[in-house]
Amino acid sequence: MSRRSLVPRFAFALWLLALSSCGGPSRAVEEPSADAGPAWNEWTPETFARARREGRPILLSVQAGWCHWCHVMNDTTYRDPEVLARLARSFVLVRADGDARPDLAERYRRYAWPATVFLAPDGEQILALRGYRPPDRFAAILDDVVRAHAEGRRLEPDAGAEEPPAEDLDAIRRAVTAQLDGMYDAEGGGWGHRQRYPLAAPVEHALYRARVHGEAPWRERALFTLDRYTTLIDPVFGGMYQYSIPEVWDRPHFEKIVPVQAGAIRAFAEAYRATGDARWLEAAESIHAYVREQLRAPDGAFYASQDADLGGHGQAGPHVPGNEYYALDEDGRRALGLPRVDVHVYAATNGLLIEALANLHVATQRRAPLAEAVRAAERIVSTHRRPDGLFAHDADADDPVPYLADQAQMLAAFVALHQASGMHRWLEEAERLADAMIASMRDDAGGFVAHGEDPRAPGLFDDVPVPVLDNAVAARALLAMARLTDREPYREAALAALRDACRPSALRSLGRMVGELLLALEAARDGYLVLSVVGPEDPRTSALYDAALRIDEPTRLVELGRPGEGRYPYPGEPAVFLCSSQACSMPVFVPDELPSAVATFLDR
């Protein structure tokens, strides 16, 4: 698949900060009433053909079911008579759910939800708006868009020429590290000020720097930040709210989405492994309990999100705003009911939680998180795998397009499960998926594209971006796989993906959202220490394997081989071999001796 221009045209490459096309069937727009709201169309070839036939610009509204400001805009702006009259007279309307359309979420992630995008009938972007707009301002914007469309001009600058791929990944790593460091808030904790967002990857990167590179201050900065993050944990049901308003941590937006829960479990589990402080374990397990009790489907898969408010916005029952509902104790909340849970089962969000729960098991040696992760993985493999080896986003949706977010997150999940469980089956699943991705989802420069071909809107998907963060997740998993399988093509694919994705303007636009990329760039530079456990299925082997998992070493990978089957010889009793890319140790036979053996081998 060739890489296309990144000038915004009607090609969308999606993913997460906010995760089914929705609306009525494609039809002629009638003059709507304020009570009925706009006549939204589905995402179909007929809708786009109609826009071309009638010469109307397209208004695309990307929303999410949990999004408070989406609800407000639907209830106010899209009920205003002046706005409705303009929409009916001049526009073709499409509404899509960002959680169900990872391509749109990736393309418009920087606009947050609701994202309102105006496009010419040929897909050329006229204007994109971030967030809520009140009726009077939105009506004026609609008039501006109509004039710009009639004159064949845009209302925002052109994206310019495409940048070449990066050559020096270590230079990129240094620049991106400086970019993230410049956004650290030493007084308030966390990164950035616009919203207090509990980003997990920068915390993990800070702990990595302290442990691997000896940058001691970053350990305390990471732990201070995690202390601030605990303010966003729901003290009644558990789970972490999505973010707080600027400057403070105690004025949250109350929606609970899977990327935040999964990231928090990962970060708190890593902090517990690094410090042994039970406070971080308590935080991780509080979020885990929420996920298990309120986001887990009966068959073991995980749902996507939970609303901030109770009822309202077209739902039955009383409407209680989140700030009132979440101020109640458990009895008060349960007397009113529970906020709506989005029961879609997406491969990407399940991959995030599978990886997080596998990591929680590694940090705690508790079996329940691993059992839940395995059950969810088995469910997604059985329902979401496509004939080509890739994964569908939503097994229940009629969507022919594979999205990179689903592939990258499931790949990372399989690698994490392989290490946490010692089961070779999950490495085989990772290899099957990686091979399919490399065969069908790369552009000419080697980056993974955000999505495959979309037959629903032929001719409108001319540019397919190479998303930085999804490529980073995929690259990090591939680098681990290269060490675990001794397959150099996986490392080559990982480095090509990083070079293609790391174009300076894309990195600058990400701001503080570069933690996952830094973790991948560190792995590319530092490599991995493999702790290879060899032994029969008995308690001594299990004790060595558990000891290997407990090692506080961010570069370590753990694998389990049986006598005669692993890559290392069986020395007659269970043992652990330590291997970098240049050297291997003598076998270690006693679990308690493993930490000192690792320290000696790494010479730290």
- Which residues on adjacent β-strands are paired with residue 488? none
Task: Provide, rounded to the nearest whole percent, the portion of the chain with pLDDT above 70.
Answer: 90
> CA nearest 371: which of 415, 413, 420, 406?
420
Express the helix, strand and coil content of the chain in percent, nearest 5 each: 50, 15, 40
- In this predicted structure, the answer to whether residue 386 has a pLDDT above a threshold of 90 is yes
100: left (phi over 0), alpha (psi -120 to 50) or beta: alpha
Per-residue pLDDT averaged across 536-564, rounded? 94
pLDDT tens-digit map of 163-214: 677 889 999 999 999 999 999 999 999 999 888 999 999 999 999 999 999 9
pLDDT digits (tens, 9 = 90+) for 487-514: 999 999 999 999 999 988 889 889 999 9
Q: Minimum mean pLDDT among 20-24, 368-372, 555-559: which range?
A: 20-24
Least confidently predicted of 37-51, 101-115, 442-456, 566-580 = 101-115
Amino acid at 525: R
Q: In what order do the strands lie in the sheet with 256-257?
A: 256-257, 305-306, 341-342
Rg (CA), the chain: 25
The pLDDT tens digits of the residues spanning 77-101 come to 999 999 999 999 999 999 988 888 8
Place of tokens 């977010």: 405
Between CA 89 and CA 31 the distance in angstroms is 8
Q: What is the CATH number of domain 530-602?
A: 3.40.30
Tens of pLDDT along 234-287? 999 999 999 999 999 999 999 999 999 999 999 999 999 999 999 999 999 999
Q: Three-state SS across 180-226?
A: HHCCECCCCCCECCCCECCCCHHHHHHHHHHHHCCCCHHHHHHHHHH
**Whether residue 106 has pLDDT greater than 80:** no
pLDDT of residue 107: 75
Phi, psi of 530 (to 5 degrees): -95, 125
Cis peptide before 339 (omega within 30 of 0): no
**What whole-number distance in Å separates Cα of residue 40 and Cα of residue 74?**
12
Report d(CA 427, CA 566) in Å as an integer.
Answer: 13
Instruction: Answer positive or negative: Cα dihedral of 246, 326, 343, 259.
Output: positive
Residue 97: the pLDDT is 87
The superfamily CATH assigns to domain 1-162 is Glutaredoxin (3.40.30.10)
Compute CA 468 distance to the chain's CA centroid, rounded to the nearest angstrom: 11
Residue 15: is its pLDDT beyond 60?
Answer: no
Position 10 confidence tier, pLDDT thresholds 50, 70, 90: very low
pLDDT band at 13 (very low <50, low <70, confident <90, very high): very low
- Residue 574: band (very low, low, confident or very high) from pLDDT cuts 50, 70, 90: very high
pLDDT for position 201: 97
Give me the residue label for tokens 């490529």.
Answer: 471
SS3 583: coil
Please give the full DSSP string across 19-71, using - where no structure is assigned. ---BSS-S-PPP---TTT----B-SSHHHHHHHHHHTPPEEEEEE-TT-HHHH
Alpha-helix residue ranges (DSSP H) falling in 343-391? 347-364, 367-384
With tokens 């009433």, the residue in question is: 33
Residues 6+ apart with CB under 8 A from 156: 125, 126, 127, 128
Q: Taking residues 218-240, what's their average pLDDT?
A: 98
The predicted pLDDT at position 167 comes to 82
- State the virtual CA torsion across 413, 386, 296, 321 in degrees, nearest 10: 100
Other Cβ atoms less than 10 A from the Cβ of 381: the count is 18
Exposed e or buried b per residue across 549-576, where buried means at least 16 C-beta atoms within 10 angstroms of its C-beta: bbbebbbbbbbbbeeeebebebeeebbb
Q: How many CB atoms lie within 10 A of CB 166?
A: 17
Neighbours of 111 (CB within 10 A): 15
Domain residue ranges in the chain: 1-162, 530-602
> pTM for this one?
0.82
Mean pLDDT across the chain: 89
Q: What percent of the chain has pLDDT over 90?
A: 71
pLDDT number for residue 314: 63
Strand duo 92-97 + 58-63: pairing: parallel
Instruction: Assess contact for 377 and 426: CB atoms under 8 A.
Output: yes
Residue 162 confidence class, pLDDT cut points 50, 70, 90: low
How many C-beta atoms lie closer than 10 Å to residue 583's C-beta? 8
Q: Do domains 1-162 and 530-602 have the same CATH topology?
A: yes
